[in-house]
Amino acid sequence: MSESLSTDESLSGPVAVPVSGPLSGPEPKARSLAGRAAALDAEDELAGLRDLFTLDDDTVYLDGNSLGALPRHVAGRLQDVISRQWGELRIRSWTEGGWWTAPERIGDRIAPLVGAGQGRIVVGDSTSVNVFKAVVAAVRLAESADPARDEILVDATTFPTDGYIARSAARMTGRRIVPVDPAELSGALGPRTAVALVNHVDFRTGRLHDLPGITAAAHAAGALVVWDLCHSAGALPVGLDEHGVDLAVGCTYKYLNGGPGSPAFLYVAERHQAAFDSPLPGWNAHTDPFAMAQDFAAADGAVRGRVGTPDILSMLALEAALDVWEGVRVEAVRAKSLALTDFFLECVAAYAPAGRVSSMTPAAHAERGSQVALRCAEAPAVMAELISRGVIGDLRRPDVLRFGFTPLYVGFADAERAARVLGEVLAEVPRQPAGEQRDRGV
């Protein structure tokens, strides 16, 4: 039994995936893993969904955690929106075409995918704008209960925008930012904590953070939590209502395949809706928008999370894209995601030259999202060569190779091919001198 995938204990504990059976040389190894991939694809209940997407057989697309693939029918649906709804009905489409109610209607379609009831999600604006709304509104909710709560805890490993927005929200509300490692967040909560802003899945490593546990710890401390679901919505069960989440935001262009720049969503727990005080009270959030009143009166429910006129073309492209989820169980998506990432790690262990890559992604299923991040000193050159050979992942400088596994259209043969090509590329790309690796902290 061989173990060629090196370990990285500093971030996620050791990950070394054994390769099954005695293998001698690359050809028997490839035949064995390719055969297993074919068998796994044949048994996959989600395999047929790949045909719903615009993909080509020459490419392995493992970047759905940045931009999901195009569902085939979206182009035709959007052509109708442009030619008939906009071109013929024109302004009548706000009512006859259902444009005006799209943010709530599409929110209700996303709701089952993240474990939310109807009327709790509204779609519109970017993730950054929704993070701002959620954090400021959460601070205001906390302040109404206890004005002494003057701290906003922020995931210290967060996606940069969340940190930027949180710091601005802190300045605006007179709070101070406290960066905390997510593993230590539960212990950092206290009587001064107003809000914690946490990523459900770490964008670099793919680590899945403990949403139920952190949410419960925050509530026990009298604080609220805002969850960023950008790397979990559409990839795994979230359970927003079940776990008592206060507020959450998420993008729709990754695992939900809504298209580049498609609008994000905002979740407001039912118990907070009456007191939700958005820092961006736009006319679309007014209880009677067309009254054009000078005084703002917030609409009921999550609708008060709306701001301005919806981006209809992107909004309706997203609505069409969500059709691929009809009849799909998120639990089945999660099961396949874990099987895919397990198999990919096993294939990397078999194909990669010893010591060239190490997994930053946790081995434990309970701590893993739907991506694999490999640390590699030569990551920029390796990813460039992978892409030139039809394996599309992405790079997080300086040394992270990131591969997203979207179970609706990625199969086990894709995982095997990607790992095999990675092994070939690593064998060809020269190692960096050890001194340069130390200089970069590798």
In angstroms, the CA 92 to CA 294 distance is 26
Closest CA to 266 of 232, 293, 227: 227
Task: Give the active site residues.
Answer: 159, 228, 253-254, 402
In angstroms, the CA 164 to CA 171 distance is 11
Do strands 265-268 and 121-123 pair parallel, antiparallel, or not at all (unpaired)? antiparallel
For 231, the token pair is 């790397």
3-state helix, strand, coil in the chain (%, to 5): 45, 15, 40
Amino acid identity for residue 380 in this structure: P
Per DSSP (E only), the strands in 245-311 are: 247-250, 265-268
In angstroms, the CA 100 to CA 118 distance is 18
Sign of CA dihedral 242, 112, 131, 236: positive
Count the neighbouring beta carbons within 10 Å of the beta carbon of residue 105.
Answer: 14
Do strands 151-155 and 176-180 pair parallel, antiparallel, or not at all (unpaired)? parallel
